[in-house]
Amino acid sequence: MPDILTPDICVIGAGSGGLTVAAAAAAFGVDVVLVEKGLMGGDCLNYGCVPSKALLSAAKSAKAHGPDPKIGVEAGFSGANFASANDHVRSVIAAIAPHDSVERFEGLGVNVIKAAARFASPDTVMAGETEIRARRFVVATGSSPAVPPIPGLSDVDYLTNESLFELRQAPEHLIIIGGGPIGLEMAQAHIRLGSRVTVVEAQKALGKDDPELAAIVLSAVKKDGVEILEGTAVKSVSAVDGLIQVDAESSHGAVSVKGSHLLVATGRKPNLDGLGLEAAGVDVERGGIKVDKGLRTSNRKIYAIGDVIGGLQFTHAAGYHGGLAIRSILFRLPVREDRVNMPWVTYTSPELGHVGMNEAQARKQHGDKVKILTADYAANDRAQAEGATIGRLKLIAGPRGKLLGADIVGAQAGEVINLLSLAISKKMTMKDLTGFVAPYPTLGELVRRAATSYYADAPSNPWVRRLVRFLTQFG
């Protein structure tokens, strides 16, 4: 007979979203079971955000300063030792892993079960030999690399983000299929650590970001030596003379690239296999679990959060979803997911960040009431002092100066976008953004400079000038 557990909440998946729910529930003294078949910490810790940013850090140091043993950059070919950089990646994962570990969560009071979870009915999950009957379930199983059906791809040894960070030697020539954030980040990291890199993108590289600002990133990556083939659709992959050959088609004709390694970075797919969603009465659409604005599925006892529901697949989005789920499950508060104002950052050099509406979305909704306000890094004193003058901030202002969205490219763009994400969440206006005091000299002054330009026409406004003259009459 299986063990039977009857917790208040059963969480499936120990990535960012699942851990958020489990930790918060335990903090409030709620009986919670966490089921995870793989590594604690999920994709972000083990195969995604953490290792990729650690490798980027090593590559950035190799580019800017040469050897830096503290982050695994030692003297060697092209100024860097790839194995040492990989050691840095491993050490960063190891440093963070205890925070997400079974031991920590059991210490918090969470019952952690290391097994695959499968719904046996609308209110029952089987995890190994354990039967779980919970009041509420939260599915947070994340996503996996989406591998396109390219002829010949299955016949070669290709990499995804789940295997890339196992490499101990720099690829001689890394071909990357996909010019999104993952593809471009890893292209720049590997070129700086001694590889030759070619990126093949069927459409426009970094196509989800502001075209003008994305072009600045692409220019920098190309300057590092990465070859980027845009508008180039891969037709087949094959093994030729010990190399991997990618055959593609562009508007200029056939293209053929040979390399030592191939990375597939063409997006991600929700992890649904083996969950028994049909038995649970959970609907799926466009490959992800269908949820309402409150993250509830078609089975009202079951919530789904993070990558498994599709849409914006970010670690911080999963954590945000986890917070919404807790408020709904424990406190029965009405919650509503906000996808429009979710920020994101591509961690190339320079970084590229976005939050809120883009210009096209803003103009579609508000027409000619939209103003685009800009501030260049070259006009910022801190950027000048740091020698980081390549970059630009764009603020999208709507009616009455309300901040609708923002895009930024440049040094520490991810840090600056934090301020703007807060401003959008609090429905701030250009008046608010000109009213705060930024310490000098900081990159945050870019925000005030751009916001101040909203009022650039005020001094020439005849009514304003008449008011000023009138008030001077009173001494």
Residues 4-47 have pLDDT tens digits of: 999 999 999 999 999 999 999 999 999 999 999 999 999 999 99
CA–CA separation, 263 and 164 (whole Å): 8
Do residues 443 and 409 lie in contact, with contact meaning Cβ atoms separated by under 8 Å? no
CA atoms within 13 A on the CB side of 9: 33
Query: For 365-382, what is the mean pLDDT?
Result: 97
Do residues 63 and 349 lie in contact, with contact meaning Cβ atoms separated by under 8 Å? yes
pLDDT of residue 353: 98
Phi, psi torsion values for 231, nearest 5 degrees: 60, 35
Neighbours of 207 (CB within 10 A): 13
Query: For 115-140, what is the mean pLDDT?
Result: 98
Residues 270-284 have pLDDT tens digits of: 999 999 999 999 999
Could you give all domains of the chain from N- to C-terminal order, each with its CATH number? 3-144+269-331 (3.50.50.60), 153-266 (3.50.50.60), 350-459 (3.30.390.30)
pLDDT at 80 over 60: no
CA–CA separation, 152 and 160 (whole Å): 16
Nearest partner of 196 among 228, 236, 234, 237, judged by Cα: 228
Alpha helices (H) along 98-140: 102-108
Neighbours of 357 (CB within 10 A): 22
As beta bridge partners, residue 353 has 345, 408
DSSP 437: P
If one compares 459 and 1, the residue with the highest pLDDT of the two is: 459
Phi, psi torsion values for 168, nearest 5 degrees: -110, -10
Nearest partner of 91 among 77, 73, 107, 79, judged by Cα: 73
Confidence of residue 463 (pLDDT cuts 50, 70, 90): confident
CA–CA separation, 29 and 7 (whole Å): 11
Q: In the chain, pLDDT over 90 holds for what percent of residues?
A: 90
Q: In the chain, pLDDT over 70 holds for what percent of residues?
A: 96
| Helix count and strand count (H, E) for the chain | 16, 25
pLDDT of residue 68: 53
Query: For 117-143, what is the mean pLDDT?
Result: 97
Residue 179, judged by CB atoms within 10 A of its CB (0-12, 13-18, 19+), counts as buried
Q: Which residue has the tokens 């970084």?
A: 351
Confidence of residue 66 (pLDDT cuts 50, 70, 90): low
Confidence of residue 461 (pLDDT cuts 50, 70, 90): confident
Do residues 282 and 326 lie in contact, with contact meaning Cβ atoms separated by under 8 Å? no
CA–CA separation, 390 and 403 (whole Å): 24
Neighbours of 285 (CB within 10 A): 10
- Mean residue pLDDT across the chain: 94
pLDDT of residue 287: 80
Structure token digits, residue 148:
């396109």
pLDDT of residue 268: 96
- What beta strand segments (E) does 340-473 contain? 344-346, 351-356, 371-376, 392-397, 403-410
Phi, psi torsion values for 20, nearest 5 degrees: -60, -45
pLDDT at 75 over 50: no
Neighbours of 157 (CB within 10 A): 9
Q: Which residue has the tokens 């190399």?
A: 243
Q: Which long-range contacts (CB under 8 A, 24 or more apart) does 436-443 make?
A: 440/381, 441/380, 441/381, 441/382, 441/385, 442/382, 443/377, 443/380, 443/382, 443/383, 443/410, 443/411, 443/412, 443/415, 443/416
CA–CA separation, 339 and 419 (whole Å): 18
Phi, psi torsion values for 268, nearest 5 degrees: -135, 155
Neighbours of 152 (CB within 10 A): 16
Residues 180-227 have pLDDT tens digits of: 999 999 999 999 999 999 999 999 999 999 999 999 999 999 999 999
DSSP 264: E
Query: For 246-261, what is the mean pLDDT?
Result: 96
pLDDT of residue 1: 66
Neighbours of 409 (CB within 10 A): 27
Residues 287-338 have pLDDT tens digits of: 899 999 999 999 999 999 999 999 889 999 999 999 999 999 999 999 999 9
Neighbours of 469 (CB within 10 A): 9
Residues 419-440 have pLDDT tens digits of: 999 999 999 999 999 999 999 9
Question: Mind giving me the DSSP string for 373-390?
Answer: EEEEGGG-HHHHHHT---
pLDDT of residue 76: 45
If one compares 71 and 22, the residue with the highest pLDDT of the two is: 22
pLDDT of residue 79: 41
Confidence of residue 458 (pLDDT cuts 50, 70, 90): confident
pLDDT at 74 over 80: no
